[in-house]
Amino acid sequence: MANWFRRRRPATPAVLVGRPRSTVTARVELADLTPAIDAYLGRAAYLQLALFEDVSRAISAAPSTVAKTSLARVAGPHLDAHRGLVAELVARGVDPAEAMEPYRLDIDDFQRRTLGQDWFETLATCYVTAGFLTDFFLGLAAGLPAELRGRVESLLDVEAGEDVLIDELRAGIDANPRLGSRLAMWGRRLVGDTMLVARSALGVGDEAPGEERIEPVFTELVAAHTRRMDALGLTA
Amino acid sequence: MANWFRRRRPATPAVLVGRPRSTVTARVELADLTPAIDAYLGRAAYLQLALFEDVSRAISAAPSTVAKTSLARVAGPHLDAHRGLVAELVARGVDPAEAMEPYRLDIDDFQRRTLGQDWFETLATCYVTAGFLTDFFLGLAAGLPAELRGRVESLLDVEAGEDVLIDELRAGIDANPRLGSRLAMWGRRLVGDTMLVARSALGVGDEAPGEERIEPVFTELVAAHTRRMDALGLTA
């Protein structure tokens, strides 16, 4: 359940992180940029469903029974998060499909762009995009009313199943160093697409926030991404 | 949670069922044919994962947000069943992947043959094969030790999400009668493949049971299949 909004991580050498850490700043900034409740829930619910689909694709393409059944542990939390967020919408008297609909095209498009060419790229997608975006939506949750925030935080588990993805990816990279450089490139493309889809979730009323407000928000998220790539032995 | 092994269904006209019902006979016969515990758990676990993958494919291909999020309710119980069965293997000190491995090729092959050409055929697969096989494994559970049987029965929910599949299929058929006749044919092929994969799970020691023992086992399962197709307004 750990994530950078809620607990300190062990210190990471600055050379890996690349920028100073600014957890408190980012958190304040994100709480400030939380969209309206139904928009938050609708977007987060559809996104968790998309992340679930990515893992499902990896399950179907898994080369072994071990990998298949391990990945089932990764899929569960995204499905549970989707269903929990849908239940929140229903409890508010909101039609969940209508609440998700405005975000469908953007997220479907994001999903297509981050599909990956093979099983390992799909695994990297599950690892990188889910980590970044779940982290991001946990940060935005800071701007929700306290009770709802608590429930949403218990639904979004950034590190759920991360160990499975890291193990499979590392095993692949260890067996084939060229895979490592391919995945390092893929990771850079992924984080670019992921930041764009995250950015589109930020909004205060009709006004799009300026760069000066967005920049600090992403600083810590990018640092967390760097640590994720580092856990694969890859440079972000 | 209802299924034919545990509760009486409302009477169905004989013309729909096609054969006399023989719940008690079938149940006794199935309990008699239950494979060894680890074989039962391994096969059932891999099968529930395959059924989960089928639903996941339907989620990814769903034409609307409503369909996508409704189908998430269908995927959950299969994933939960898979994880619960894996947990039973782990609790017995058995490596789950090793326990599932012997059934992988057969079930993967079954999955390929029942993939379906489009979204509606995949939905019909989710409905027909999951209903039949979950029902079948519930029946086989009657031959497990009492405590384990209770836990397995609580994991296997034949009718979970069936309403979602029926609604989507009926809507499609109502909008396009030609789809109905295509799905009726697809349903016949599905039940044939499904019976073969179920049959391969029956075994007492090394000896394959003879026709005279298998026949009554399938009578009620086929009747339940007929009722499922009837719920779509289709002839089995």
Whether residues B72 and A49 touch (CB distance < 8 A) is answered with yes
What is the tens place of the pLDDT at every residue in A158-215? Answer: 788 899 999 999 999 999 989 999 999 999 999 999 999 998 888 655 566 677 777 7
Shortest Cα–Cα distance, B184 to chain A (Å)? 27
Which positions in chain B have a beta carbon within 8 angstroms of at least one beta carbon in chain A? 45-46, 49, 52-53, 56-57, 59-60, 64-66, 68-69, 72-73, 75-76, 79-80, 82-83, 86, 96-97, 100-101, 104
Return the CATH number of the domain spanning residue range B21-231: 1.20.1260.10
- Dist. CA B57–CA A203, nearest whole Å: 33
Mean pLDDT value across residues A24-38: 73
Say whether pLDDT at B129 is over 50: yes
- Dist. CA B85–CA B50, nearest whole Å: 13
Say whether pLDDT at B10 is over 60: no
CATH class of A22-231: mainly alpha
What angle, rounded to 10 degrees, do the helices at B37-60 and B146-155 form? Answer: 0
Q: What is chain B's mean pLDDT, rounded?
A: 86
Mean pLDDT value across residues A21-25: 40
What is the tens place of the pLDDT at every residue in B47-69? Answer: 999 999 999 999 999 999 999 99
Position B2 confidence tier, pLDDT thresholds 50, 70, 90: very low
* A207 secondary structure, DSSP code: B
Given A79, A97, A100, which is nearest B79 (Cβ)? A79
Whether residues A69 and B45 touch (CB distance < 8 A) is answered with yes
- What does the H/E/C string look like for B62-113? CCCHHHHHHHHHHHHHHHHHHHHHHHHHHHCCCCHHHHHHHHHHHHHHHHHH
Please list every residue in chain B whose beta carbon sits closer than 8 Å to the beta carbon of residue A84. none
Q: Residue ranges of the alpha helices (H) in chain A? A: 14-17, 23-32, 37-60, 65-91, 96-113, 119-141, 146-155, 162-175, 177-199, 211-231
Position B216 confidence tier, pLDDT thresholds 50, 70, 90: confident
Does the ipTM exceed 0.85?
Answer: no
Q: Which residues contact A236 (CB under 8 A, 6 or more apart)?
A: A18, A184, A187, A188, A191, A222, A225, A226, A228, A229, A230
State the best of B68, B108, B167 to mutate against chain A, taking most chain A CBs within 10 Å: B68
The b/e string for B224-234 (b: 16+ C-beta within 10 A; e otherwise) is bbbbbbebbeb
Say whether pLDDT at B6 is over 70: no
Please list every residue in chain B whose beta carbon sits closer than 8 Å to the beta carbon of residue A66. 97
Position B202 confidence tier, pLDDT thresholds 50, 70, 90: confident
What angle, rounded to 10 degrees, do the helices at B119-141 and B211-231 form? Answer: 140
Q: What length is written for chain A?
A: 236
- Dist. CA B58–CA B39, nearest whole Å: 29
Coil vs helix vs strand at B200: coil
Shortest Cα–Cα distance, A90 to chain B (Å)? 12
Tell me the CA distances in angstroms from B76 to A23, A110, A188, B84, one per residue in order: 35, 24, 32, 12
What angle, rounded to 10 degrees, do the helices at B96-113 and A65-91 form? Answer: 80
Q: Are residues B235 and B184 in contact, defined by beta-carbon separation less than 8 angstroms?
A: yes
- The continuous run of DSSP H or E covering B26 comes out as helix B23-32
| φ and ψ at residue B207, rounded to 5 degrees | -90, 125
A157 or B70, which is more confident: B70
Given A45, A69, A97, which is nearest B97 (Cβ)? A69
What is the tens place of the pLDDT at every residue in A82-112? Answer: 999 999 999 999 999 999 999 999 999 999 9
- Dist. CA B104–CA B106, nearest whole Å: 6
Whether residues A49 and B64 touch (CB distance < 8 A) is answered with no
List beta partners, residue A207. Answer: A204
- Dist. CA B139–CA B221, nearest whole Å: 10
Please list every residue in chain B whose beta carbon sits closer than 8 Å to the beta carbon of residue A97. 64-66, 69
